[in-house]
Every structure is written in structure tokens, then in C-alpha cells.
Structure 1
Amino acid sequence: MASPQNALHATRDYSTITEIAYHESPPSYKTFLEQYLEPNLPVIIGPDLTKHWRARLQWVSHDTGKPNFDNLREQLCHNPVEVPVADCQCKDFTDQRRSTMDLKAFLDEWETDSMANTPSRTYLKDFHFVRTFPHYDAYETPDIFRDDWMNEFWTRRMDMDDDYRFVYCGGDGTFTPFHADVYRSYSWSANICGIKKWTLFPPNQEHLFCDNLKNTVYDIENVDPVQFPNFDKAKRFTIYQKPGETLFVPSGWWHQVHNIGDTISINHNWCNGSNLDLLLDSICSDLKEVEREIEHLKDVMEEGEWIETCQKLLLLNSGWDWSTLWHMCMTIRKRIQAQMRHGGLEESSYLTFTKDEEEMPRKTPIFQPPLVSQQPPLDLTLRRVDAVLDYIKNEKSARWFLEHIKNLVLDD
């Protein structure tokens, strides 16, 4: 069953885009929703958005504009902290080789490279900073990005302790390979110091990024024209994100990021009702790819075994399955209904946790739900959530998996 075109979502047209918009001061939520979130378009926001953050004030040397390595070590290295790092000179399939490293050792190595004006090889990335330092308060999520279902849901899950809030640190020459974000989520990235060169590609050009074996371009600055003969035809935008600026990266926009000088950035992956249809399309596409890869096993499996196997592989390869999407939508639906029952009151004190949620041992602070003024009309969001839930209930294999493997009652 193909993913439906959901009439509840805006039509998105990328053909007339000529530049990436820039706002010197943060736009109102209404402006952000109507001009960028719903049409799925990027925007850069000036340093006013981040100027009061602790990270901006204490992580950067105001004389040089470079990282304040002494402050970082003093504030973050009281105890050993293992951080994830990538080797930017070693490709590992579609990513870079990943490992872990002590944070102080990373800062020492990075400072040595910086003082010698030597390009760096090691890039600290996908570091769950809030989970590691839950009381540090390095920044606050801007109001226009508060309608964040991924972090609201993941930080309230009963089966894991996780989030999608990250810090990235790297010297000159470090980079992230060509990709689109997990689940086709949005991301926002705030530059604490340094300059990031972003190259962004609007959606619906994926056929230009792949070779005959469905391999995707790894590094847009080193593309084999024989393997990828059509890549140069892809529409793209290049921007240079300066210190203090924040970039909103929309859903499904492929991109590559290069660090110019010593850079630190704070990033959230997130989603909400405005790109819920794109998330549904993404999980359907991921599942279709899994089914294609193991199609040769279908005839030797019982139907239920086939469905369960595909969901296991989907979770392993893509990080989610029908259960993940179902539970996220149900969590948000419950919260939206509570806000509607209270007449759209701005305070969130009535959004209480269950006893189980309160007793769940967590390192990761719970991401507080958005206020009514920080999200689209509640009735529209509820209709969007219900449309996806109805789709899942009516998709035969999804329903069987949730009812027989996850023991869920879908029509309660």
C-alpha cells in the first residue's frame, strides 16, 4: 500500500527558489510557520537568536573568536567523558569511521591542531550534550523550534533513555558527508563559533545522486562523473554560516557541511505535524527497500514471519519501525487533546507525567511540550496525526505487526 498524498499538508514547490532567506532577528512563529515550516524551505537567522546562550558567552574566546579551550576543559572535564568522534579521512560505507574518545583528549588534540594552523582529522559529532550534562544549560531551544515531536517523544519513552539534541566540534577541514537527515526530520543548527559551508539540495532530485546500483554520492567535492553522470544537473545552494547564526534545514533537503576554521555548533533533529506526511513517506520508502533486499526469502516464510523480519530489519537499518511512528503519534495526540480540553491555555502545568514516566530512571532531561502559541492550530495538528494513525491501521502488514507482535489494541 503506497503512502497517501495527504491533503492536510501544504503543496511544496521548490522550482522557483533562487536563494536562501535571511532574517537578522528571529521571525515570529507565525512568519516561520507560514514562510518556512509549512512550505519546507530553509532560512538563516542572525546572531540575535543565540547571543545570550551560555555556550556563546563562555565557550568562545572573545579576543580571537576561537574556542576557549581552557574554559571548555575546566567546565566539562571534571570527570572522564567518552564522546563520539568521526575520522574525516576514513570512509566507512556511506559514513566516516566512527569511534569514541575521551573529551579532554579530544580538546587537547584539537587545540594542538588549531595552534599549528593544521587541518583537523577528528570531528566530534552527534554528541548527546544535554544527556551528558543535564544541568549545564548551554542553550535554550528557540520558540520557533519548540514544536519538536521527536525530542518530546524520545525523552518520554518508557523503553529507552535517548534524545536528538547534539553538539558538534571540529577543526578546519572537518566535514559531514552528503546525506539527508534521519527519518527525513528537520534540523536546526546554531553556530557557536567558526564558519560552516553548507551545500543544500532541494528534494525530488534523488535520482541524480545515485548510480546504477543505488549507491549515493559520498563527497560532493569529489564526485566521479562516470559513476554519477547526472550529479552536476542537481539544483543546489551554497551558504556560509557565520558565528552566532542558526540555519533551519527542512525535511528531505540533502546537504553536505564543511567546517572552515575551528567550529562548534548545537543541533537538534526534530519533526512535527508540518512534515508528518514526509515522515510517513520516508518509513514507507525505507520499508519498501528492506522488502526489496530480502524479496528472495518471501516465498519460504510464513506471512507473519515475513512481516516481523522486515520490521526488525527496518528498525536495525533505519532506526524505527511502525511501532515507533505509532507511539510517537499517540503521545502527541494525547498531549494535543489535553491542550484542547484546557481551551488552549498557554501554561503547560496541566501536561502532567504519568506515574511510570515520573519513576523512569533517566539521564536525559525531558523535552517540555510546546505552548499553544508555538505550534499550528491544534485541530489541524490533530487531524494530521489521526490521518497517519488511520493509514497505519488500514495498512495490512502494519496492523498485523502492531497487534500480533507489539500486542497493541488499535481501535480502542
Structure 2
Amino acid sequence: MTSPPTSTRLLLHATRDYSTVNGIDSLDTPPTYTHFIKHYLEPNLPVLIGPALTTNWRARQQWVCPVTGKPNFDNLREQLCSNEPVHVPVADCQCKDFTDQKRSTMDLKGFLDEWEEHSQADKPSRMYLKDFHFVKTFPDYGAYETPDIFCDDWMNEFWTRRTDMDDDYRFVYCGGDGTFTPFHADVYRSYSWSANICGVKKWTLFPPNQEHLFQDKLHNTVYDIENVDPTLFPDFHKAKRFTIYQEPGYTLFVPSGWWHQVHNIGDTISINHNWCNGSNLDLLVESMTSDLKEVEREIEHLKDMMDQDEWIETCQKLLLLNSGWDWSTLWNMCSTVRERVKRQQLGEEVAVATAVGTVLKDGVDS
């Protein structure tokens, strides 16, 4: 497999046509990066990739019982649970909280014990470990390696190098039979890849440009596609969709802006990254612009009370609170990549903290 280039050039697509999409490709052999860009990344189309991409991962070899194919709970406890509690985020799949599920934290050992108890009793699970920053929590463990075709990742390059916060978009998900993620599109309209370690995931994916079919009159979005009120969402049944079943070892590439819902069949563990690069930068900008317009509409009645600079600053602060980033964040991400590429081209080694610190200051000023 060829390695990705140091950056991906920005291509502002006039249109991406999903009207002729009739299914989701499945590849037994991992594609080259050139093939991946041409057929999936640039046209923004999903693809399911066979187990060869993940065969050598420690997670595939040690987190799964080779006889039953279920999670190896003893190994997971022994390797990940120390004397000190490891706090993990969990979602209650039976308790809706606005557009998401009710979130809380649990000790990892307690979660694994409860999960194993439900598994042995062959009972559906309620609690779903989601958005667990595994690499941050266990930086030296080496559960997996990011596949080459997903390595041109501007989001995690920037967030893992930031000096003003400690965050990333690299996650582990663990859940029993019946756990699920509600209907959504990924954060910032980023790409994502999801590698299944064990269990089966049922994915239902919806191509972009159908959002008007997902919303009611108040712009609320469908929560659970298997329980839709036709009086609130009378046109939802018209939405084009594709359903696939992701077997153990398989990796799914989810493109920008593809709404989806995921159900776990049996005990499942998966590894997921949200990411972006120049191929979907225009979609990220479009998403942020839409979020900003919504903020501006909400506080339009205050605009006459502010001068232009104060109005812009207020809108950006609210955008950051509501969406998790603002124009300064986007600028900083792109500038971080630009600085790294520039130094690579000059053959220079650069102190990461110094470079990112300078970029952050430049971004705030801009």
C-alpha cells in the first residue's frame, strides 16, 4: 500500500452527485491511497474494507476470545484496569436526552463487569461505552495503527498538538447486544473510519442533500430511524438509504455529511477516528457557515446594540460554544498543517509545541 502524501490539495467541488449511487462498495483487499482518493475520498462515497487492514492489530489478537469470538473480558480487565479507576464515558441507550442519549461516567472495570454479566445471561445491554479517548488514556498501549489510507488526518494532527487543550478524535466503542447510536451526521461534517474488532454492526447510511426529509416543522431531526412518528416526519420514508452489516475485522469509511444510525448485534468493540483533510475542507467550511448563520439568526435582535467588531466576536463565541469550533479554530488547524508541510519541504525539524503555539496566536489575531 502506498503511503499518503504529506498534504492533500484543496479541491472545491462544484457538486457531488449522489443520485446515481446504488450501493456501498465492499473491497476484500485494502485499496492503494491513489485508488482510495479517486473512488471514495474525492467523490465522498462510503466503502467497506476487508479484515486484511486490521489483522495484525493487538486489539484484534488480544481483545477477542478466539473460540467464542466474543470480547475477552479477562484480558481487557488485566490489561486496561489498574488499581486506579479508569473513568470512561457511557451512554444509556434507553434514555433519550434531547438529540442524544443520557451520558455519564463509569469506572472501566465496573463497566466490563456489568457488560460481561449481561453477555453471560444473554440479555440485551443498556449501557454503551462511547467516545472513549483510548489513545489519550493509554498512550503506550499500541492497540492498533492508523491505516495508511486514513493517515492524512488534519483534525487529529492539530488537536493532538494543541498546547491550550488536551483533546483528540480517536475513540473506542464497546457495547452489548441492542446498544446503538442515534441518527446523526458526524461532528464538523468530518470523515470517519470505524474498524470492528468483534460483533456485528448494522449501519444504515443516508446520502447528503436529503436533510429536509429528516426534519420536522421546528427543524428537529429524527432521533431513531426505527421509531419515526409519520405525523412529525411525513416524508422520512422517501429518503434514500443503504444498509450494511459490518462483520468482525471489517473497516467502514463514512464520508462527510452522510447521516447514519448504528445498531450493535451481539457484543461489539470498535475503533473509530473522526478526521478531515483538503478533500472535504469545503464541506467543513459549508457546515460551519451554516452553523454561524443559525447563531446570527438566534441573536439578530441584539445586532443593533453592537458595533461590527463586537457583533462578530459575539457570534464567534457562540459558534464555538454551540458547534465546538469557530473560524479561528479552522484557521489554526489549516495553518498547523501548512507550517508542518513548509518545514518538511525545507527539510527542517521543528519543535511542535513552538510551531503550534505560534499558529494559535496568529489564528486568534486573524
After TM superposition, the score normalised by the length of structure 2 is 0.93
1:30 aligns with 2:34: yes
Q: Separation in 1 of the partners of 2:296 and 2:119? A: 47
Q: Report if aligned partners of 1:196, 1:257 keep a CA contact under 8 Å in 2.
A: yes
CA RMSD of aligned residues (A): 1.8
Instruction: Report the identity percentage.
Output: 76
Cα distance change of structure 1 residues 224 and 50 upon mapping to structure 2, 3 Å threshold: same
Q: Separation in 1 of the partners of 2:35 and 2:324? A: 33
344, 351, 354: which one aligns with 1:353: 351
Q: Secondary structure at the match of 1:406?
A: helix
TM superposition shift of 1:46: 0.5
Q: Secondary structure at the match of 2:285?
A: helix
Q: Separation in 1 of the partners of 2:198 and 2:11? A: 41
Residue number in structure 2 paired with 1:307: 312
Cα deviations by residue, 1:290-313 (Å, 9 ceiling, x for unpaired): 111121222223322222221111
Residue number in structure 2 paired with 1:223: 228
Q: Secondary structure at the match of 2:290?
A: helix
Residue number in structure 1 paired with 2:7: none
Cα deviations by residue, 1:179-238 (Å, 9 ceiling, x for unpaired): 000000000000000000000000000011001100000000000000001100000000
Q: Secondary structure at the match of 2:96?
A: strand
Q: Secondary structure at the match of 1:255?
A: strand
Cα deviations by residue, 1:90-118 (Å, 9 ceiling, x for unpaired): 00000000010000000000000000111
TM superposition shift of 1:354: 4.0
290-299 or 86-95: bigger deviation: 290-299
Question: In the TM superposition, what are the counterparts of 1:198-213 in structure 2 within 5 Å?
Answer: 198-213=203-218
Q: Report if aligned partners of 1:11, 1:39 keep a CA contact under 8 Å in 2.
A: no
53, 67, 74: which one aligns with 1:70: 74
Residue number in structure 1 paired with 2:57: 53
The amino acid that maps onto 1:324 is T
Q: Separation in 1 of the partners of 2:299 and 2:138? A: 42
Cα distance change of structure 1 residues 13 and 239 upon mapping to structure 2, 3 Å threshold: same
Structure 1 unmatched ranges of 5 or more: 1-5, 343-349, 360-401
1:97 aligns with 2:102: yes
Cα distance change of structure 1 residues 15 and 77 upon mapping to structure 2, 3 Å threshold: same
142, 153, 158: which one aligns with 2:147: 142
Residue correspondences, number: 353
242, 257, 263: which one aligns with 1:237: 242
Q: Secondary structure at the match of 2:38?
A: helix
Q: Secondary structure at the match of 1:304?
A: helix
Q: Separation in 1 of the partners of 2:355 and 2:174? A: 33
241-250 or 286-295: bigger deviation: 286-295
Q: Report if aligned partners of 1:90, 1:97 keep a CA contact under 8 Å in 2.
A: yes
Q: Report if aligned partners of 1:84, 1:101 keep a CA contact under 8 Å in 2.
A: yes
Q: Secondary structure at the match of 2:280?
A: helix
Q: Secondary structure at the match of 1:273?
A: coil
Question: In the TM superposition, what are the counterparts of 1:9-408 in structure 2 within 5 Å?
Answer: 9=13, 11-78=15-82, 79-342=84-347, 350-354=348-352, 356=354, 406-408=364-366
Cα distance change of structure 1 residues 63 and 251 upon mapping to structure 2, 3 Å threshold: same
TM superposition shift of 1:271: 0.1
TM superposition shift of 1:80: 1.0
Q: Secondary structure at the match of 1:274?
A: coil
Structure 2 unmatched ranges of 5 or more: 1-9
Cα distance change of structure 1 residues 89 and 228 upon mapping to structure 2, 3 Å threshold: same
Cα deviations by residue, 1:321-355 (Å, 9 ceiling, x for unpaired): 0110000111111122233445xxxxxxx553246
Q: Report if aligned partners of 1:158, 1:357 keep a CA contact under 8 Å in 2.
A: no
